[in-house]
């Protein structure tokens, strides 16, 4: 493993505090998909130390893995109860986010079997058409035997402040919450925190912004950079004008060129869509990615630098973060982070 992924836990903790300060009530942390690819085992205790008391994963297995790290905190699974046995949740004090009538029924059966109320979060769908109960279910929902910790919904377009769906969903959620007058609410994701009062609730559920992704894409990024990805130059190639680089020769040297070969490729999350599109950095100088990204190797034009074998080129860093790389790849920062592979030497700052 020659490439190095440096993850700044202090910056992630700072980002949580920034979000918590921005949201009037409580702020959770969404740590699904191994904390957006950056390492739940390292990040979760750091967030707990910063004051976070509520954590969400997508899957039960992810929650079971981090449960011992945060014994006193609320830990909930967004994807719900099905198809697990309820005992897999109760055994670890993990709360299912219940988003269907069968999920509620199964959780109530388990509460009756145990003879004690079980904590639950109800998820209502207000426009995503993914997981969640219908608003029509709200008036006559039987949740006896359950202790409702929160009711929640998820915003469709929180990163687009002018999208009328934000207000529509907030209004729909408010109407649903009238059927649960004593239950606390959870609404905003990262971007929702920045939409103002409309989308504030008892508990915000940010994920992306914790890891440095810009929650306000139309404005400068208020979050701190959290990842740096560098790889050493394995070999320098000298090309003559007319020579090509990589599979299918999609890049042709227009001048005598020096090409740096790095030992990372699409198997490491350097998306193939970045072929001839990305810009990395050497010593402050932008170096374009040239030719096709291959599975384990990528080539960069370093003609305008004095970079040599062994020097490190930076693919992700404070000046060129996941959002910028995502733009070049035609995707979003979420996919960039969660696609980062297992072949990096991972360093944690502030562990
Ligand atoms: C992923 C997710 C979040 C976090 O969203 P970000 O945009 O990463 O802040 C919150 N709630 C639900 C239901 C999610 O699936």
- Return per-residue pLDDT of the chain as tens, 351 residues: 689 999 999 999 999 999 999 999 999 999 999 999 999 999 999 999 999 999 999 999 999 999 999 999 999 999 999 999 999 999 999 999 999 999 999 999 999 999 999 999 999 999 999 999 999 999 999 999 999 999 999 999 999 999 999 999 999 999 999 999 999 999 999 999 999 999 999 999 999 999 999 999 999 999 999 999 999 999 999 999 999 999 999 999 999 999 999 999 999 999 999 999 999 999 999 999 999 999 999 999 999 999 999 999 999 999 999 999 999 999 999 999 999 999 999 999 999
Ligand 1 centroid – CA 109 distance (Å)? 29
- Taking phi over 0 as left and psi of -120 to 50 as alpha, with beta for the rest, 127 belongs to left
Q: CA–CA separation, 227 vs 341, rounded Å?
A: 14
Q: Catalytic: 182?
A: no
Is the CB of 30 within 6 Å of ligand 1? yes
By DSSP bridging, strand 227-239 and strand 257-262 are antiparallel
Is the CB of 336 within 6 Å of ligand 1? no
Q: CA–CA separation, 98 vs 143, rounded Å?
A: 11
Ligand 1 centroid – CA 249 distance (Å)? 40
Q: CA–CA separation, 321 vs 229, rounded Å?
A: 9
**Ranges of H-type helices in 67-100:** 86-90
Compute the residue count for the chain: 351
Which residue's CA lies nearest to atom 15 of ligand 1? 78
Q: Are 290 and 251 in contact (CB under 8 A)?
A: yes
Is the CB of 154 within 6 Å of ligand 1? yes
Q: CA–CA separation, 258 vs 70, rounded Å?
A: 50
* Beta strand residue intervals within 156-215, DSSP E: 184-186, 203-204
Is the CB of 199 within 6 Å of ligand 1? no
Residues 6+ apart with CB under 8 A from 212: 11, 12, 15, 221, 223, 224, 225, 226, 227, 321, 322, 333
Determine the residue of 207, 211, 216, 222 to mutate for testing ligand 1's pocket, defined as the one with the most ligand atoms within 8 A of the Cβ atom: 207
Q: CA–CA separation, 202 vs 194, rounded Å?
A: 15
Atom of ligand 1 nearest to the CA of 36: 8
pTM of the model: 0.98
Q: Which of 32, 46, 266, 348 is catalytic?
A: 32
Atom of ligand 1 nearest to the CA of 30: 4
Is the CB of 207 within 6 Å of ligand 1? yes
Ligand 1 centroid – CA 204 distance (Å)? 10
pLDDT at 2: 87
Cα distances (Å, whole numbers) of residue 331 to 66, 155, 229, 286, 337: 29, 19, 18, 21, 11
Determine the residue of 56, 124, 132 to mutate for testing ligand 1's pocket, defined as the one with the most ligand atoms within 8 A of the Cβ atom: 56
Residues 6+ apart with CB under 8 A from 287: 260, 279, 280, 281, 300, 301, 302, 304, 305, 307, 313
Is the CB of 275 within 6 Å of ligand 1? no
Residue 276 DSSP one-character state: T
pLDDT at 1: 65
Is the CB of 189 within 6 Å of ligand 1? yes
Which residue's CA lies nearest to atom 6 of ligand 1? 207
Is the CB of 40 within 6 Å of ligand 1? no
Q: Catalytic: 36?
A: no
Secondary structure (3-state) at 236? strand
Which residue's CA lies nearest to atom 3 of ligand 1? 189
């Amino acid at each position: 493993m020659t490439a190095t992924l440096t993850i700044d836990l202090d910056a992630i903790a700072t980002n949580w505090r920034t979000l918590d300060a921005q949201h009037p009530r409580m702020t959770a942390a969404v740590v699904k998909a191994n904390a957006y690819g950056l390492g739940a085992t390292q990040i979760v205790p750091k967030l707990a130390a910063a004051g976070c008391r509520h954590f969400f994963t997508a899957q039960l297995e992810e929650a079971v893995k981090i449960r011992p790290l945060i014994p006193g905190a609320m830990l909930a699974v967004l994807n719900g109860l099905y198809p697990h046995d309820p005992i897999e949740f109760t055994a670890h004090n993990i709360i299912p986010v219940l988003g269907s009538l069968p999920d509620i029924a199964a959780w109530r059966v388990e509460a009756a079997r145990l003879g004690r109320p079980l904590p639950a979060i109800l998820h209502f769908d207000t426009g995503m058409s993914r997981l969640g109960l219908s608003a029509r279910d709200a008036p006559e929902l039987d949740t006896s035997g359950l202790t409702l910790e929160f009711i929640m919904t998820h915003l469709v377009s929180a990163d687009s402040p002018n999208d009328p769906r934000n207000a529509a969903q907030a209004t729909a959620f408010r109407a649903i919450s009238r059927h649960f007058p004593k239950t606390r609410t959870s609404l905003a994701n990262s971007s929702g925190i920045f939409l103002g009062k409309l989308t504030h609730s008892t508990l915000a559920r940010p994920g992306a912004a914790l890891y440095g992704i810009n929650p306000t894409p139309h404005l400068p990024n208020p979050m701190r950079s959290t990842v740096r990805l560098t790889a050493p130059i394995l070999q320098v190639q000298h090309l003559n004008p007319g020579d090509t680089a990589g599979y299918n020769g999609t890049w042709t040297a227009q001048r005598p060129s020096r090409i740096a070969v790095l030992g990372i490729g699409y198997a490491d999350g350097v998306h193939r869509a970045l072929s001839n599109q990305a810009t990395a950095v050497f010593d402050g100088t932008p170096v374009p990615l040239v030719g096709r990204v291959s599975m384990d190797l990528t080539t960069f034009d370093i003609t305008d630098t004095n970079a040599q074998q062994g020097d490190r080129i930076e693919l992700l860093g404070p000046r060129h973060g996941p959002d910028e790389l995502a733009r070049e790849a035609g995707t979003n920062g979420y996919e960039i982070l969660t696609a980062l592979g297992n072949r990096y030497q991972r360093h944690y700052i502030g562990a």
